[in-house]
A and B are shown apart, each in its own frame.
Chain A
Amino acid sequence: MTTVINVLQALILVLGAPLVSGIVSKIKAWIQRRQGASIWRPYIEIAKLFRKEDLVPPSASWVFRFAPKVLFGTTICAVAFVPVVHPSALLASRGDFFFLVYVLALGRFFLSLGALDGGSAFGGMGASREALVSTLAEAPFLLGLVAISILAAHADIAGMVMWTLQRNVFDISAVHILAFTSLAMVVLAETGRMPVDNPTTHLELTMIHEGMVLEYSGPSLALVEWASAVKLHALLALLISLFGPWGMASTVSVWGTGAALLLYLAKVTVLMILLALVESVVAKLRMYLVPDFLGVAAAVSALAVIFTTLVKG
């Protein structure tokens, strides 16, 4: 029964991901007083791309074709560590949070390689910027998770979630607040959202993620787009399960799981609204201020780790 729920959780994250992107776009459109595209648009987009021809630059090697598949595979692998409605996950016992961080990094690494292999100037530019952002995002990402894992005395995500679930909502410590802040900043950087990267820009010189995927088309592009959506959804789910898991079904039952699912939808909606708001009220950072942004995230997460000694003591 737990396995069924775990498979269900992974499916929610993977299949629901385009909807999350669609809803965020819709909320942003509303904030701009536009009608906006349908929330189902990303599904149509991905389905359309899967039916299209896959164009490969003549200079590209197998790396270019291989990269989107690796990216999608690693993203799916990361999903299998994230609890949604139940404090467990498909691969929970097979790896800790270090694995989660680096399996995502592996996907980025391959996408950067693919972008370089594509041979266009923008691919190279995007790849080098992505390398900068992901290098700098690594420290706050890890430290934020380390802080929680020290408190929980668990290194696997499901264990950390289980520990939080057993605490009271009002037991939230400074560690949680600091770790949440830094991880939320990391999510913005990792998923290429404002103010680090502009996912809707058409200006090739300012792109980070979009620059890397400029040469991709057809099914390859569909995989990349889908993987980006899954990554956003999975990281939002990770934030929810680490910092607000209350309401998750601790026992395995249909009713409990259903209620937990509804609660999850409410929580993810709140995060989507927050994301859309953040993306609407700030302009994109100057490229050389991105390290400062992530530097702040790193400092905050370091504080979170330091504060664990106080909370534990």
Chain B
Amino acid sequence: MNENTPGAVPSGERGSGGPPLVLPRGKTESVARLVTVFGSLGSDREKRVHYVFDVGEAKYWETMVAASGPVRSIVPELPSAAWYERELHDQYGIEITGHPDLRPLVFHENWPEGVHPMVDAVNQVPWASREYRFLTVQGDGVAEVAVGPVHAGIIEPGHFRFSVVGDTVLHLELRHFYTHKGTEKLFEGSLVNAGAMIAESVSGDNCFAHAIAYSQAVENACRAEVPPRASAIRLIGLELERLVSHISDLGGLCTDVGFSVAAAYATRIKEFLLRASADCSGTRYWRGIAVPGGLRFDLESRKILGLSQAVSLAARQFADLARVILETPSIQNRFETAGVVSPEVARDLAVVGPVARASGIDLDVRRDHPYGHYKSAQFEVPVTHYGDVMARAKIRIKEAAISARLIQQIASALPIGSVLAPLELDGEMHGSSAVESPRGELYYWLEGSDGRLTRCHIKSPSFQNWPAMPFAIADNIIADFPLINKSFNLSYSGCDR
């Protein structure tokens, strides 16, 4: 596959293992955007490494190399691959040459060395005590501040190791994966039809996007066509999820700067939408609705129209609220210039979603790699280049309005018909799919045979965006970290899987 890509550039000559991977070119950049790197086992349990790139075409570019021996790292060319290769090293024990930092990523000090869950049995793993070395910053007056994994508020666990001089952050090291649940392992051997339920549990507030990405991957593998009514309702669910998520994010930003009235108002709008969606679909977060092939049950058109009216009301109220928030001087002072992600960093780390679009990277799976009902939908993709908290807030505000418009558009012209297509699950299957979740590009890749999965990889936008956080916080004061962190709004559970 890689030979026939025009203008491919060979990977560097560092390291010793394996033939150099030929990296594809993007449309404008010298190297295409990396989507994900993951491992799998072949039919004879031989290790393989898959690389997925976005080369600027509707279809993702995918290649695979055998990994019986060491594999050469692509990190020197593509820093965005750093965490993926570390994960590969943890999961499969594949030696990677030329990687600058191969400390354990997914597994902590209690996980024994040499146990690789995607290859070995993990029923009884002994408790170990390994050593993890944090990067130390040396110099006069440099202090280390350790935060988490248990926080003062009720939030997900993650450890942050700051190196500070006074209140200014020099370096931040992330230590996550406290909520690693072995979801990719859990998929192995499970029924293809039941997989959507596992996918839904990866990241609670993006459960519909996960279920759709999984279902679409299965549908692509079976070459099944989803009935138009089902794909229209899926679009409504996906946009509703984005709308709720963005409203909640703006409220969260206000909470973090103590602007409690706006925060309370945003929470009220969010709750209103969740109740409206419970009225429409019987579930607040659209759990248990998507299945491979379409939807588990049809939703009444009357109720969808009701939801659409609720969305229009909520969007109007949210627009008013957003205007008040953006016009408040003390908010402007907090949001502007805080936590800047430069376009260079964003490109190097291949960040996705609102974080990328706030840093000048014009990227949206819905438009660039259209799926389902988005193939015919009309919508714009807001992009700005400031890359600060304010830019991310504004991108979310604009996207919320666009989502609300899309929902009303689709709800007013809902196709009729069945909502579930039959799937042919016999034999070998292999498929992938991407969805623009509220946090950005979500990519599922799966392989199965005779109705059972053999491998399912999840590229979550949070996994992709977390490494950009240390760059955003550097040179800011430590007291601004919660705000900057909130403006990324990354999922720990989705990252840790």
Contacts and interface: CB of A to CB of B under 8 A. Distances in A.
Interface of A: 28, 31-34, 121-122, 125, 194-195, 198, 200-207, 210, 214, 279-289
Contacts of B264: 32-34
A31 B260 CA distance: 9
Given A202-B153, A205-B482, A206-B482, A285 B330 contact: yes
Contacts of A194: 258
B256 interface: yes
Given A28-B260, A125-B478, A207-B152, 18 more contacts: A33-B265, A194-B258, A195-B258, A202-B154, A203-B256, A204-B151, A205-B147, A205-B478, A206-B256, A206-B482, A279-B258, A282-B328, A282-B330, A283-B254, A283-B334, A285-B330, A287-B477, A288-B477
B480 interface: yes
B152 A206 contact: no
Interface string B300-335: 000000000000000000000000000010110110
Given A125-B145, A206-B479, A287 B167 contact: yes
B137 interface: no
Given A201-B258, A280-B261, A289-B333, A33 B268 contact: yes
B83 interface: no
A207 B479 CA distance: 8
Nearest to B154: A202
30 contacts: A31-B261, A32-B264, A33-B265, A121-B145, A125-B145, A125-B478, A195-B330, A200-B258, A202-B154, A203-B256, A205-B147, A205-B479, A206-B479, A210-B152, A279-B258, A280-B261, A282-B259, A282-B330, A283-B254, A283-B258, A283-B259, A283-B334, A284-B257, A284-B330, A286-B334, A286-B477, A286-B479, A287-B167, A287-B479, A288-B477
B481 interface: yes
A98 to B, nearest CB: 31
Contacts of A283: 254, 257-259, 328, 330-331, 333-334
Contacts of B478: 125, 205
Contacts of B481: 205
A203 B334 contact: no
Nearest to A29: B264
Interface in B435-488: 477-482
A130 to B, nearest CB: 13
B146 interface: yes
Interface of B: 145-147, 151-154, 167, 254, 256-261, 263-265, 268, 328, 330-331, 333-334, 477-482
A31 B265 CA distance: 10
A149 B257 CA distance: 38
A43 B268 CA distance: 29
A214 B152 contact: yes
Contacts of B259: 282-284
Contacts of A204: 147, 151-152
A286 B258 contact: no
Nearest to B144: A121
A31 to B, nearest CB: 6
B48 to A, nearest CB: 43
A200 B477 CA distance: 21
A76 to B, nearest CB: 29
Given A28-B260, A33-B264, A284 B152 contact: no
A219 B482 CA distance: 30
Contacts of A288: 167, 477
A207 B256 CA distance: 11
B151 A284 contact: no
Contacts of B482: 203, 205-206
B99 to A, nearest CB: 31
A234 to B, nearest CB: 24
A200 B153 contact: no
A84 B260 CA distance: 32
Nearest to B167: A287
Contacts of A285: 330, 333
Nearest to A290: B479
Contact of B333 (A31, A122, A206, A286): A286
A121 B152 contact: no
B330 A200 contact: no
Contacts of A210: 152
B119 to A, nearest CB: 39
A125 B449 CA distance: 56
A37 to B, nearest CB: 14
Nearest to B145: A121
A59 to B, nearest CB: 15
A33 B261 CA distance: 8
Contacts of B328: 282-283
* Centre residue among A194, A206, A283, A285 by max chain B CB count within 10 A: A283
Contacts of A34: 264
Contacts of B260: 28, 32, 200, 279-280
Contacts of A286: 333-334, 477, 479-480
A198 B258 contact: yes
Nearest to A120: B146
Nearest to B482: A203
A69 B153 CA distance: 27
B490 to A, nearest CB: 16
Given A202-B153, A203-B152, A204-B151, A284 B477 contact: no
A34 B261 CA distance: 10
A257 B211 CA distance: 70
Contacts of A287: 167, 477, 479-480
Contacts of B145: 121, 125
A284 B480 CA distance: 11
Instruction: Sort A-B residue pairs by CB-CB distance and give the 3 closest, nearest first.
Output: A202-B153, A32-B264, A284-B258
A287 B254 CA distance: 16
Nearest to A281: B261
A198 B482 CA distance: 13
A32 B261 contact: yes
A203 to B, nearest CB: 4
A201 to B, nearest CB: 7
Contacts of A281: 261
Nearest to B259: A283
A82 to B, nearest CB: 28
A125 B143 CA distance: 11
Nearest to B480: A286
A126 to B, nearest CB: 11
B258 A121 contact: no
Nearest to B146: A121
Nearest to B151: A204
Contacts of B477: 286-288
A281 B147 CA distance: 30
Contacts of B334: 283-284, 286
